Structure 1
């Protein structure tokens, strides 16, 4: 594959996967050596990196790559994974990390080398690859003779790196020394080094300085063909033609903020428009912060919500800090009760966060609230981060305090600052940003800065709830007080010109912002349907789940692993014959059978951490020792490897290393199969009925006003009245645009369906009906059920609208639905034999896909009758 000139590299790679290229698998040595698991999109990012570096022309086409990923999406975890991959697979030992600020340098050193840091990215027990401990060593210069099993890491600001290279000193890095070694350049916040690309006219002093940095990096990359430059940033101005032309062949993965927020990996963002003075605004923010803390505690969640009070001048910030502390010190139960009373009067008819918070405080002991406020908000816990010499919050003096705000031993509850929440501040438990004494500055520069602030503050804070820690929002579609700890509130002024400018900035930054006023919408079952015999006596059929047992996995064949393994020619003889033989000149070959001796098997198992007993037991519960796994016929006791060798080479010609490599190839194949096929619970082909009334009931969704310029309008759910449509069981449908279109499609066939069936009901499935793939563990909840009855048979039809961008990812769901049509596979347990399950192809956006859905719908429900 070579880069196309018209679309970005990431899209080309996805097309390759769709057409004919196999998606590479992220090796176990990456996932097992990280401090926490990878999200799906992070896995996809590393897959794309692997795909490019496996290309024979990677030195030419893929030596410079960029990961374009949203703020908060875990770019540094991708960076850490990249280091492991480039070290293990391609032999790189020298990694040069650079960024534009000292604060991020210090944070990165902690993240990559300090095993005691709470944000250390690798496993605390140390990095183990091929049964060897790998050390990461910080250096100023790379050694001329590197030690084995060692990754050398130099971390620098781009400014210092440029100075060291252009004005070399004794014992410092030079261009000349770097000409002798392969290096991987790691550029964080990489948009800062594109001045010469971005700017073609007259430059400012800062831009001219950045231009020299860009040239420095280009020169470093060009020193050796094997050098690599991997960039990581959330900010790539692809609307700039110069930037686009530079990066379209380099963006190896793209995951923007809009998708990041839509996928639930951020907090929700809401604007709170305020007209109160600063004193009241600050007290309200403090109470709202306490409300979050109290609510979380009621659910057994320990959380320390942070407030950022932002001003535009240092003296205003300091005075506000002093004023808040003074008000809290002098607070009594009477003053608090008066504040709550006024809050209730103001928001008594509101169902937003203010109404909920003030009504909640009304039920509590005011003396207890005052005591907690005075304990939680003191000089120590509300630091003022302003200093005349500081330009950002993450200065050297503040870095330690601000980068550990989530930690239990960090006392901070509120921060007063003028400087922006800048690159490198990875706070997760920031829940309120409050503007203090700021006028209605509606300049684009001002609101752009605020949009950036909101975007960085929206990072999600994972918390333990019901014995699980999730890294995604859980309560978007459910009424729960815990929405309060999944939402960032931006307390702003109520000025139309300012808000209009802010909305434009948010739109450009792709930040989805909800208005504070949430409209609760209830879809109610129609009375006529609740009185219908189908609702009272009918059943919905879902498949039975059974736990897996040890006997389910007492043989490698249960994992779809064959112990007759053929080694590809190239692997078998890579050390014995010239590469040219592999390119077409091998005329005859012969097959040799080899049963590996135990020493080869044991050594290969030792070199793969997946097969270390403590881990393997999690996937192969029937074994009691590695010896049993090696010797038992049902596992590796009958392992046979078939070598396909060219004429002139015998089995005895293969070296022990080549034989060991063959066993390791088998184990890689077996590992993938074992991982993919081990399940704790699986779906069965047996479908049993559950009473309608147990699964189908009224349901509730909160519909928020959103920034439509940012949100994908097709994904916005809105209520649609279904009164007068006796075939739809709810009084309204709360659906997005695609779902609404599918309802229209069904409606266009209702009369024709009624000519064939005596009962026709379309049911919206709002997360209550789940089916699981047969002999698999993947489950899903079809969006709609079409329930049909004639005089003899009841038909349960599964309908699934699917956005075009999800069709390939969810193809297995359509395959599963189509399996349901095969009566020899599916068994329906009913009082009689007159229940049929029918799966219809996806309903999707394109005219071609809609036509396929229509044809399938008509054939199975109308023409085939």
Structure 2
């Protein structure tokens, strides 16, 4: 009989009622008051605490993975784990991920007290003393009483450590300090594990994964916590690597069954991309009207996903022309061919509320004018202002309605009011395309409010 994986062991213990979530003031009171932990998050916390404090087969240094659906609150779980580990004596944390976009979002979540998505309480108190969350570039002069976080991309961390310069972190410094390594979208660090066995050693040692492992193994008290929705367990090497590391699994299917997500519908259409986009903005306007009718503030967002940057830019320009030249006959044509669809419900609502095709056109031209749309295709042209806009889409004063993108927003984007994703390219995707689109769908699955 094959040996049980860590996840199977913990699922069995869970069925036996071993894991009992215990309210801990130093965790809950130091979280943002806007955060209410859900049962599956409490279960993940209970599993984590049991592994650290009660699991007889615990391995050191500790390496665990939380395999949880996009939108299920992995960043909240990171925050609770940071607070718990602070209580255990850990002060220095390295947060690393694949994209700059995710770094900026997480930096705001952990550091920006004026952000609506700030995850900690305004004051973090441990043993009657206030604790600060500091961003650091190295740990040499880090305050031993605070939470010190080095934010970096995997590529940046690899470059810093293998090409050291003044005031940057070094392998030697890390070996003298117990660290917590936090890897978001952790599937990106498995380049070495997925590589062919016969690959040249020099290539293996130059990989990002090798650098992360070297840090992790430098001190037996180190802890590595990985978080992802898309670990590639179909890959035999990946499955073998994580058989004793996956502590918690919470799938998108379970997320939906527990009614924490919107209902996901994948629709295929043989109409042109411009017509699909027109359908999407009509439905988006319908959602806004229904919400207003229920006295709810909702500004639904539409995302247009293209395969290439040039395709995305062209789609954006074509859309502006389409909206500018929109005619009553265009809306009438959509209405005529919308039998037994959600569009049918939308037009019935418009008719019953006196919203004629001409009025709808005027609203679409206003709500989807260029100033309320944005193209996010390249980090080169991605400004701090863009970052703030995309991370505050739910705010009352944020009127952004439509986003054009390729892959920039697949990861590291927290949004509640994304309702429609239109894929320009209908060709069959690859395995990597399937993973990225699963992540993107997860972005839109989160409930609003």
TM-score (norm 1): 0.48
| Aligned with 2:280 (options 269, 278, 285) | 285
In structure 2, C-alpha distance between the alignment counterparts of 1:450 and 1:9, rounded to whole Å = 27
In the TM superposition, residue 380 of structure 1 has moved relative to its aligned partner by 0.7
Tell whether the 8 Å contact from 1:136 to 1:153 is kept in structure 2 after alignment: yes
1:746-793 Cα distance to aligned partner (Å, 9 max, x none): xxxxxxxxxxxxxxxxxxxxxxxxxxxxxxxxxxxxxxxxxxxxxxxx
Q: Quick one: structure 1 residues 342 and 227, their matched pair in 2 at CA, closer, same or farther if it must change by over 3 Å?
A: same
- Say whether 1:128 aligns with 2:125: yes
CA pair 414-224 structure 1, distance change in 2 beyond 3 A? same
Match of 1:31 in 2: 28
Deviation of 1:214 after TM superposition, in Å, equals: 1.6
Structure number with larger C-alpha Rg: 1
Q: Say whether the 8 Å CA contact 2:413–2:443 is kept in structure 1.
A: no
1:406 aligns with 2:391: no
**CA distance 1:355–1:106, shift in 2 (3 Å):** same
1:409/1:218 CA distance change after superposition, 3 Å: same
> Displacement of 1:111 after TM fit?
0.8
Give the match's secondary structure for 1:78. helix
Match of 2:301 in 1: 306
Distance in 2 between residues matched to 1:92 and 1:309, nearest whole Å: 43
Residues 192/396 of structure 1: CA separation in 2 closer, same or farther (3 Å cut): farther
1:506-655 equivalences under 5 Å are none
Question: Does the 8 Å CA contact 2:229/2:439 hold for their aligned counterparts?
Answer: no
Partner of 1:111: 109
Query: What does residue range 461-860 of structure 1 map to in structure 2 within 5 Å?
Result: 461-463=447-449
Aligned match for 1:452, one of 415, 438, 444: 438
Aligned with residue 316 of structure 2, among 313, 321, 332: 321
Is 1:426 aligned with 2:414?
Answer: yes
Q: SS where residue 268 of structure 1 aligns? A: coil
**Cα gap change, 1:262/1:418 in structure 2, threshold over 3 Å: closer, same or farther?**
same
Distance, in Å, in 2 between the alignment partners of 1:55 and 1:27 is 17
Q: Is the 8 A contact 1:99 1:189 kept in 2?
A: yes
How far apart in 2 are the matches of 1:147 and 1:186?
Answer: 19
1:71 matched to 2:70? The reply is yes
- Offset at residue 138 of structure 1 (A): 1.1
Query: CA offsets per residue over residues 648-688 of structure 1, 9 Å max, x none?
Result: xxxxxxxxxxxxxxxxxxxxxxxxxxxxxxxxxxxxxxxxx
1:415 aligns with 2:407: no
For the structure 1 residues 164 and 292, does the alpha-carbon distance in structure 2 shift closer, same or farther, using more than 3 Å as the test?
Answer: same
- In 2, Cα distance between equivalents of 1:398 and 1:301: 26
- Say if 1:24 and 1:51, in contact at 8 Å, map to a contact too: no
Contact 1:420 1:453 (8 Å CA) reproduced: no
**1:82 has 2:81 as partner:** yes
Aligned to 1:482: none
Cα shift at 1:250: 1.2
- The alpha-carbon deviation at position 22 of structure 1 amounts to 5.7
Instruction: Indicate if the aligned counterparts of 2:204 and 2:210 stay in contact, CA closer than 8 A.
Output: no
Deviation of 1:326 after TM superposition, in Å, equals 2.9
- After superposition, give the CA deviation of every residue in 1:318-363 in whole Å (9 maximum; x if it has no partner): 34333333333344xxx33x34443443234x1x311111222233
Which of 175, 195, 206 lines up with 2:171 in the alignment?
175
Distance (whole Å) between structure 2 residues aligned to residue 250 and residue 396 of structure 1: 36
SS at match of 1:416: strand
Structure 1 residues 271 and 212, CA, compared in 2 at 3 Å: closer, same or farther?
closer
State the Cα distance separating 1:239 from its structure 2 match: 2.4
Match of 2:186 in 1: 190
Aligned residues: 445
How big is each residue's C-alpha offset from its partner over 1:213-266, in whole Å with a ceiling of 9 and x where there is no partner? 222222222222211111111122222222222211111111122211222222
Q: Is residue 2:41 matched to residue 1:6?
A: no
Where 2:266 maps in the other structure, the secondary structure is strand
* 1:37 Cα deviation after fit: 1.0
Question: Which residue, 224, 246, 255 being the options, matches 1:260?
Answer: 255
Other structure's SS at 1:295 match: helix
Is the contact made by 1:309 and 1:435 (CA closer than 8 Å) also made in structure 2?
yes
**Matched residues in 2 for 1:305 and 1:84: separation?**
34
Larger strand fraction of residues: 1
Three-state SS of the structure 1 residue aligned to 2:370 is: coil
What SS does the aligned partner of 2:267 have? strand
Q: Which has the higher contact order (CA 8 A, sep 6+)?
A: 2
Distance 1:281 1:114, change over 3 A: same
In structure 1, how many angstroms separate the alpha carbons of the residues matched to 2:144 and 2:436?
A: 48
Instruction: Give the whole-Å Cα distance in 2 for the aligned partners of 1:32 and 1:284.
Output: 45
Among 127, 148, 151, the alignment partner of 1:152 is 148
Is the contact made by 1:46 and 1:78 (CA closer than 8 Å) also made in structure 2? yes
CA distance in 2, matches of 1:278, 1:66: 39
Report deviation, 1:395.
7.6
> Hey, what does 2:361 align to over in structure 1?
370
The one-character-per-residue Cα deviations of 1:63-85 (angstroms, maximum 9, x if unpaired) are 11111111111111111110000
- 1:687-741 CA distance string (max 9 Å, x none): xxxxxxxxxxxxxxxxxxxxxxxxxxxxxxxxxxxxxxxxxxxxxxxxxxxxxxx
User: Over aligned residue pairs, what C-alpha RMSD do you find?
Assistant: 2.9
Structure 1 residues 255 and 29, CA gap change in structure 2 (3 angstroms):
same
In structure 2, C-alpha distance between the alignment counterparts of 1:228 and 1:416, rounded to whole Å: 39
SS of the residue aligned with 2:247? strand
In structure 2, relative to structure 1, the CA distance for the partners of 1:164 and 1:219 (3 Å cut) is same
Deviation per CA, 1:436-467, whole angstroms, max 9, x where unpaired? 3x3x522535862674255234332322xxxx
| CA distance in 2 between partners of 1:143 and 1:447 (Å) | 41
Within the candidate set 93, 96, 99, 1:95 is matched to 93
Displacement of 1:303 in angstroms is: 0.7
Query: Unaligned stretches of 5+ in structure 1?
Result: 464-865
TM-score, length of structure 2 as denominator length: 0.89
Change over 3 Å in CA distance of 1:139–1:422 after alignment to 2: same
Q: Report SS of the residue matched to 2:77.
A: helix
Q: In structure 2, do the counterparts of structure 1 residues 126 and 221 end up closer, same or farther at CA, with 3 Å as the change threshold?
A: same
Distance 1:122 1:308 in 2: 30
CA distance in 2, matches of 1:383, 1:22: 46
